[in-house]
């Protein structure tokens, strides 16, 4: 199924059905949840704006394939992943997206939060405060992506950073788990590897 | 002053004298990787053609124990006596003593000896103690003002006897001086749904005076039970009360003990203090996956039935309040010309401060004289920017704004200031922004009662419209019904 949507209500309905969605240019306000396999392609100027209310995009169902391309995601406010929050064993890909002006509760994950599943950001740009947190058993791939803030890989999470620029890479394990970050052809301004619970940093 | 008898110095043959200097809490460096440049070492550090592992060695020999450098804990003498402190591990006599219970961190070690770092007032200092006096404890929270671990403010004190109670009734835990409202609210939500389950999650061993607390971890959706053991020592303030969580009603310390076990489970109190996620914390406490729902996806008529059904189903219900609220536009300046215009923006509550990055000024008549700021959370002040702005500053905690334009201003009272405020976002109902609550019940048939994990400043019951207007997160968790935790 392929639909073009221009309003928030239509987008909610289209997300419930899944398939291919073309998001028309303009600001679409709300917090959206992907509950089935879906590909969202934004026209130039397509914006999803949570307007300070929850995550812009939430994925909490297992075994989904979710692709978002050419969309700006902004205005989120959430405890984990104000921009994009993935807490299920699903595949989520953001391609050529901007993730900006999302605000975390306390210190964590204004931009993207990954507690499970595989999340790939390809050719994306994130705002200064839009950090990424990968925790528990989540996996993150940053490919040709610009992240001026930090990516935190904690607990048993893993991350692959390839061809990207990152302001800060933070690694912190837990007493029973060690995170791993693999860095390939990337520039990272600062690495903060916890002294008491360090992670594995693999330079490839 | 009392102190233990000096034991015979223990030395490792050939061991070097301990290095001086303090260790930092983390290792920071710059890294870049580029396969084509790696042999020469782009930026000269941490670059290799072969995969390498960082963080598995720290350059310090560890001949005798599994305690690694960087490990937080406390210097404790079971009798409460002061602990001998040596300048070097080879010293024959102690140069000073350390109060039992002092929070420390291991920064170096030799057989039978730990060099520990601790804070003495504002200064970080160090010395050697015999390793038997070191007690491995979760690292403490961060002092936001000093940007360092709170070593001198709190000491570790032992609370004797079984601190669990027969009836862990709902809402017995209060948040302390740690930013873990997400965890305390999660605990209270679970206690509200089924206190028996929490009671089953804590075991006390009178013989060893230790507690075991149950959590769940593992692949999301298929967690395994993990029992975390903790002793009876808790961080306390100078007046002897627990520094972090407290039990509200009966003075027992089960809440602080569960919080300590969670800190140990996650890697320290400072990890909890960075914040967390209620949906994850509830899952870690019950083993069941949480479900999130965004209030903005609900209609007003959905709200009360949703909470009634969730309560009937025995769900733990956790909710978070929005960060800030838009304030009415104000015109706080007066006068004209090129003068420096200064004003204090009104507050809707004494606790409220300007939200970072939200101040905008514009002249009502012509839309000119635009000024804005881009302050980030944590900034104390930020400059006002704009093509016509010569100089300007916002000081967040003081709610003050000062601006000077490079052209004259006709009637500064027409300079309109828009901004948001954070703190108490709905004063009439005592709702605090950026804060987590547990749901307790539907009251009067059409209002929602939430519980503030502070244990004080409890909100008044709110309407469905107020819930939709001020809450931005909602998560539920199916608390196992059986007392053994195996029935759901």
CA distance readout (Å), B257 to B176, B179, B204, B398: 13, 17, 11, 38
**Res A93 pLDDT > 60:** yes
Within a 10 A sphere around the Cβ of A1, how many other Cβ atoms?
A: 9
**Cβ–Cβ < 8 Å for A37, A91:** no
Contact criterion met (CB < 8 Å) for A78 and B473: yes
Sign of the C-alpha dihedral computed for residues B52, B56, B61 and B62 taken in this order: negative
Rg of chain A, C-alpha, whole Å: 16
Both structure tokens of B458: 């409890």
Q: Average pLDDT in the A50-61 region?
A: 92
Interface test with A, best of B267, B289, B421, B434 (most A CBs within 10 A): B267
Distance of CA B449 to the CA centre of its chain: 25
**Cβ–Cβ < 8 Å for A76, A58:** no
Burial label for A145, CB within 10 Å (0-12, 13-18, 19+), is buried
Contact criterion met (CB < 8 Å) for B275 and A107: yes
**Can you tell me the distance from the alpha carbon of B162 to that of B206, in angstroms, rounded to the nearest whole number?**
7
Q: What is the pLDDT of residue B151?
A: 52
Read off the DSSP letter of residue A24: P
SS3 annotation, chain B: CCECCCCCCCCCCCCCCCCCCCCCCEEEEEEECCHHHCCCCHHHCCCCCCCCCCCCCCCCCCCCCCCCCCCEEEECCCCCCEEEEECCCCCCCCCEEECCCEEEEEEEEECCEEEEEEEECCEEEEEEEEHHHEEECCCCCEECCCCEECCCCCEEEECCCCCCCCCCCCCCEECCCCCCHHHHHHHHHHHHHCHHHHHHCEEEECCCCEEEEEEEECCCCCCEEEEEEEECEEEECCCCCECCCEECCCCCCHHHHHHHHHHHHHCCHHHHHCCCCHHHHHHHHHCCCCEEECHHHCCHHHHHHHHHHHHHCCEEEEEEECCEEECCCECCCCCCECCCEEEECCCCCCCCEECCCCCEEEECCCCCCCEECCCCCCCCEEECECCCEEEEEEECCCCEEEEEECCCECCHHHEEEECEEECEEEHHHCEECCCEEEEEEEECCCEEEEECCCCCCCCCCECHHHHHHHEEEEEEEECCCCCCCCCC
| A164 part of contact set with chain B, CB < 8 Å | no
Q: Which residues of A touch B183 (CB under 8 A)?
A: none
Q: What is the pLDDT of residue B220?
A: 65
| B32 part of contact set with chain A, CB < 8 Å | yes
Q: Which residues fall within 8 angstroms of residue A10, CB to CB, at 6 or more apart?
A: A3
Interface test with B, best of A92, A189, A196 (most B CBs within 10 A): A196
Q: Which residues of A touch B226 (CB under 8 A)?
A: 176
**Can you tell me the distance from the alpha carbon of B118 to that of B115, in angstroms, rounded to the nearest whole number?**
10
Q: What is the pLDDT of residue B485?
A: 45
Q: What is the pLDDT of residue B57?
A: 27
Closest-CA residue to A177 (of B211, B265, B229)? B265
Instruction: Judge whether A98 lies within some domain.
Output: yes
Read off the DSSP letter of residue A62: T
Within a 10 A sphere around the Cβ of A172, how many other Cβ atoms?
A: 26
Annotated domain spans of chain B: 55-136, 155-322+434-488, 326-422
Q: Strands of B389-395's sheet, edge to edge?
A: B341-344, B400-405, B389-395, B381-383
Dihedrals phi, psi of B426, to nearest 5 degrees:
-135, 85
Dihedrals phi, psi of A112, to nearest 5 degrees:
-135, 135
Q: What is the pLDDT of residue B392?
A: 93
| B34 part of contact set with chain A, CB < 8 Å | yes
**Cβ–Cβ < 8 Å for B261, B230:** yes
Fold held by B55-136:
SH3 type barrels. (2.30.30)
pLDDT in tens, chain B (488 residues): 333 333 333 332 222 323 333 333 344 455 554 433 332 222 222 323 333 333 222 323 333 457 888 888 999 998 989 999 999 888 888 989 999 999 898 999 988 899 999 887 777 889 999 999 999 999 887 654 444 555 557 889 999 888 886 666 655 788 888 889 999 999 999 988 988 898 889 999 999 999 999 999 876 667 889 999 999 999 998 888 888 988 766 677 889 999 999 999 998 998 898 888 899 999 999 999 999 988 888 899 999 999 999 999 999 999 999 877 767 688 999 888 887 899 998 887 888 888 888 899 998 887 788 999 988 877 889 999 998 899 999 999 888 999 999 888 888 999 999 998 888 889 899 999 889 999 999 999 999 999 999 888 999 999 999 999 999 889 999 998 755 544 44
**Cβ–Cβ < 8 Å for B111, B10:** yes
Residues paired with residue A28 on neighbouring β-strands, in sequence order: A48
**Res A95 pLDDT > 90:** yes
Q: Average pLDDT in the A137-148 region?
A: 96
Instruction: Judge whether A48 lies within some domain.
Output: no
Q: What is the pLDDT of residue B383?
A: 94
Both structure tokens of B421: 């405020």
Cα angle B445, B451, B456; round to 5: 130
Closest-CA residue to A20 (of A3, A44, A42, A43)? A3
Q: Which residues fall within 8 angstroms of residue B36, CB to CB, at 6 or more apart?
A: none
Q: Which residues fall within 8 angstroms of residue A103, CB to CB, at 6 or more apart?
A: A52, A76, A77, A82, A110, A129, B323, B377
Q: Which residues of A touch B34 (CB under 8 A)?
A: 185
- pTM, to two decimals: 0.83
Contact criterion met (CB < 8 Å) for A12 and B297: yes
Q: Which residues of A touch B55 (CB under 8 A)?
A: 171, 193-194, 198-201
**Res A103 pLDDT > 60:** yes
Q: Which residues of B touch A79 (CB under 8 A)?
A: 182, 275-279, 320, 436, 473
Q: Which residues of B touch A190 (CB under 8 A)?
A: 28-30
Is ipTM strictly over 0.85? yes
Q: What is the largest CA-CA distance in chain A?
A: 51
- Which chain A residue shows the shortest CA-CA distance from B68? A196
* CATH fit for domain B155-322+434-488, picks 3.90.70.10, 3.20.20.100, 3.10.180.10, 3.90.1150.10: 3.90.70.10
**Can you tell me the distance from the alpha carbon of B164 to that of B246, in angstroms, rounded to the nearest whole number?**
13
DSSP H or E segment with residue A137:
none
Read off the DSSP letter of residue A187: E
**Cβ–Cβ < 8 Å for A87, A55:** no
**Cβ–Cβ < 8 Å for B154, B236:** yes
Burial label for B136, CB within 10 Å (0-12, 13-18, 19+), is middle
**Cβ–Cβ < 8 Å for B447, B461:** yes
- Position A175 confidence tier, pLDDT thresholds 50, 70, 90: confident
Domain count, chain A: 1
Both structure tokens of B235: 């961080």
Please give the torsion angle defined by the CA atoms of residues A182, A186, A191 and A194, in that order, rounded to the nearest 10 degrees.
-10
**Can you tell me the distance from the alpha carbon of B438 to that of B393, in angstroms, rounded to the nearest whole number?**
39
Which range of residues forms the domain containing residue A168? 55-203
Contact criterion met (CB < 8 Å) for A53 and B322: yes
- Position A50 confidence tier, pLDDT thresholds 50, 70, 90: very high
Interface test with B, best of A54, A64, A166 (most B CBs within 10 A): A54
Task: Specify the 3-state DSSP secondary structure of A202.
Answer: strand
């Amino acid at each position: 199924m392929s639909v073009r949507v221009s309003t928030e209500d239509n987008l909610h309905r289209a997300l419930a059905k899944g398939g291919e969605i073309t998001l028309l240019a303009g600001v679409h306000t709300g917090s959206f949840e992907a509950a089935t396999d879906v590909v969202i392609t934004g026209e130039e100027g397509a914006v999803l704006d949570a307007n300070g209310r929850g995550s812009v995009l939430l994925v909490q169902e297992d075994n989904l394939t979710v692709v978002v391309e050419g969309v700006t995601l902004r205005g989120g406010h959430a405890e984990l992943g104000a921009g994009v929050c993935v807490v299920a064993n699903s595949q989520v890909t953001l391609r050529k997206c901007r993730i900006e002006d999302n605000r975390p509760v306390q210190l964590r994950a204004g931009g993207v939060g990954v507690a499970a599943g595989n999340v790939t950001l390809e050719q994306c740009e994130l705002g200064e405060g839009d950090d990424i947190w990968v925790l528990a058993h989540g996996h993150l791939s940053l490919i040709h992506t610009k992240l001026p803030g930090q990516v935190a890989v904690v607990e048993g999470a893993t991350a692959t950073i390839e061809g990207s620029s990152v302001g800060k890479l933070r690694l912190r394990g837990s007493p029973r788990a060690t995170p791993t970050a693999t860095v390939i052809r990337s520039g990272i301004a600062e690495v903060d590897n916890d002294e008491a619970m360090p992670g594995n940093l693999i330079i490839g | 002053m009392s102190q233990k008898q000096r034991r015979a110095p223990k030395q490792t043959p050939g061991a070097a004298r301990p290095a001086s200097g303090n260790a930092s809490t983390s290792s920071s460096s710059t890294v870049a990787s580029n396969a084509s440049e790696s042999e020469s070492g782009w930026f000269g550090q941490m670059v290799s053609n072969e995969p390498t592992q960082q963080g598995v060695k720290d350059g310090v020999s560890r001949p005798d124990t599994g305690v690694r450098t960087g490990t937080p804990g406390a210097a404790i003498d079971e009798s409460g006596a002061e602990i001998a402190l040596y300048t070097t591990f080879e010293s024959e006599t102690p140069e000073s003593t350390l109060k039992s219970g002092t929070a420390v961190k291991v920064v170096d070690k030799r057989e039978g000896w730990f060099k520990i770092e601790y804070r003495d007032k504002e200064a970080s200092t160090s010395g050697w103690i015999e390793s038997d006096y070191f007690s491995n404890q979760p690292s403490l929270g961060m002092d936001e003002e000093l940007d360092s671990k709170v070593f001198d403010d709190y000491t570790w004190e032992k609370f004797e006897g079984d601190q669990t109670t027969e009836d862990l009734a709902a809402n017995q835990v209060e948040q302390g001086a740690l930013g873990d409202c997400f965890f305390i609210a999660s605990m209270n939500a679970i206690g509200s749904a089924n206190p028996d389950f929490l009671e089953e999650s804590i075991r006390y061993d009178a013989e060893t005076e230790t507690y075991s607390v149950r959590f769940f971890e593992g692949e999301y959706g298929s967690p395994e039970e993990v029992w975390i053991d903790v002793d009876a020592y808790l961080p306390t303030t100078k007046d002897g009360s627990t520094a972090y969580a407290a039990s509200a009603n009966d003075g027992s310390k089960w809440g602080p003990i569960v919080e300590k076990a969670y800190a140990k489970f996650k890697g320290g109190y400072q990890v909890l203090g960075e914040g967390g996620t209620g949906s994850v914390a509830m899952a870690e406490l019950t083993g069941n996956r949480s479900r999130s729902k965004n209030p903005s996806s609900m209609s007003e008529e959905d709200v009360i039935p949703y909470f009634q059904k969730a309560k009937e189903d025995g769900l733990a219900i956790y909710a978070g309040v929005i960060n800030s609220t838009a304030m009415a536009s104000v015109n706080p300046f007066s006068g004209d010309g090129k003068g420096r215009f200064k004003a204090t923006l009104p507050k809707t509550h004494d606790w409220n401060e300007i939200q970072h990055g939200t101040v905008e000024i514009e002249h009502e008549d012509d839309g000119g004289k635009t000024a804005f700021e881009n302050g980030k959370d944590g900034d104390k002040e930020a400059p006002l920017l704009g093509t016509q702005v010569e100089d300007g500053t916002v000081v967040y905690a003081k709610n003050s704004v000062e601006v000077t334009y490079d052209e004259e201003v006709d009637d500064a009272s027409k300079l309109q200031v828009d901004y948001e405020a954070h703190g108490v976002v709905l004063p009439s109902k005592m709702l605090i922004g950026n804060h987590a609550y547990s749901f307790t019940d539907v009251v009067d048939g059409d209002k929602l009662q939430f519980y503030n994990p502070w244990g004080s400043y409890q909100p008044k019951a709110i309407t469905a419209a107020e819930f939709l207007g001020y809450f931005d997160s909602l998560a539920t968790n199916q608390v196992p019904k059986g007392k053994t935790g195996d029935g759901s």
